[in-house]
Amino acid sequence: MPSLYVHVPFCIQKCDYCAFYSHGLTDYSKELIPLYLEGLEMEMANHQKDAPQGVSSLFIGGGTPTALPLENLDHLLKLIIRNFSFAERAEKTTEGNPGTLTREKLILLREYGINRFSLGVQAFDDNLLRNVGRIHSAQQARDGVQLLRTLGFANINLDLMFGLPGQSMSLWKKSVEEALSYRPEHLSLYGLMLEEGTPLYDRFGEGLDGAESTGAQGLPDDDVQADMQEWAVEHLEKAGYLHYETSNFALPGFECRHNLGYWRGEEYLGLGPGGVSCLKRIRQKNVENVRAYWASLHEGKEPLDEEGKEMLSLEDCMAERMILGLRLREGVSFTKFREDFGVDLRNIYGDVLERYRNRDCFVIRGDRLSLNEKYAFVANGILREFVRGAG
Q: Are 83 and 124 in contact (CB under 8 A)?
A: no
Instruction: Confirm or reject binding of residue 15 to ligand SF4 (CB under 6 A).
Output: yes
Instruction: Confirm or reject binding of residue 22 to ligand SF4 (CB under 6 A).
Output: yes
Nearer to ligand SF4, 190 or 377 (CB): 190
CB of residue 102 to ligand SF4, shortest distance in Å: 16
Identify which range of 18-26, 36-44, 138-146, 275-283 contacts ligand SF4 by CB under 6 A.
18-26
Interaction residues for ligand SF4, span 24-53 (CB under 6 A) = none
Nearer to ligand SF4, 11 or 90 (CB): 11
Identify which range of 43-51, 61-69, 139-147, 211-219 contacts ligand SF4 by CB under 6 A.
61-69
Selection from 188, 327, 159 nearest residue 249 by Cα: 188
Binding ligand SF4 (rule: CB under 6 A), the pick from 56, 57, 64, 229 is: 64
CB of residue 60 to ligand SF4, shortest distance in Å: 13
Residue 379 half-sphere exposure toward CB, CA atoms < 13 A:
24
Instruction: Confirm or reject binding of residue 377 to ligand SF4 (CB under 6 A).
Output: no
Instruction: Confirm or reject binding of residue 61 to ligand SF4 (CB under 6 A).
Output: no
SS3 for 347-365, per residue?
HHHHHHHHHCCCCCCEEEE
Q: Are 128 and 87 in contact (CB under 8 A)?
A: no
> What is the secondary structure of 76-139 as a DSSP string?
HHHHHHHH--EEEEEEEEEEE-TTS--HHHHHHHHHTT--EEEEEEE-S-HHHHHHTT-SS-HH
Instruction: Confirm or reject binding of residue 277 to ligand SF4 (CB under 6 A).
Output: no
Binding ligand SF4 (rule: CB under 6 A), the pick from 6, 8, 11, 33 is: 11
Instruction: Confirm or reject binding of residue 97 to ligand SF4 (CB under 6 A).
Output: yes
CB of residue 195 to ligand SF4, shortest distance in Å: 10
Nearer to ligand SF4, 134 or 327 (CB): 134
CB of residue 164 to ligand SF4, shortest distance in Å: 12
Q: Which residue is nearest to ligand SF4 (CB)?
A: 18
Strand order of the β-sheet with 156-162 is 242-245, 248-250, 186-191, 156-162, 116-122, 86-96, 55-62, 3-8, 268-271, 276-279, 282-286, 304-311
CB of residue 70 to ligand SF4, shortest distance in Å: 19
Instruction: Confirm or reject binding of residue 14 to ligand SF4 (CB under 6 A).
Output: yes
CB of residue 62 to ligand SF4, shortest distance in Å: 5
Instruction: Tell me which H or E stretch contains 247.
Output: none
| ∠ CA 222-226-228, rounded to 5° | 115
Instruction: Tell me which H or E stretch contains 170.
Output: helix 169-181
What is d(CA 188, CA 63) in angstroms, rounded to the nearest whole number?
17
CB of residue 154 to ligand SF4, shortest distance in Å: 24
Q: Are 369 and 363 in contact (CB under 8 A)?
A: yes
Residue 349 half-sphere exposure toward CB, CA atoms < 13 A:
26
Identify which range of 12-20, 110-118, 259-267, 361-369 contacts ligand SF4 by CB under 6 A.
12-20
**Footprint of ligand SF4 (CB under 6 A):** 11, 14-15, 18, 20, 22, 62-64, 97, 120
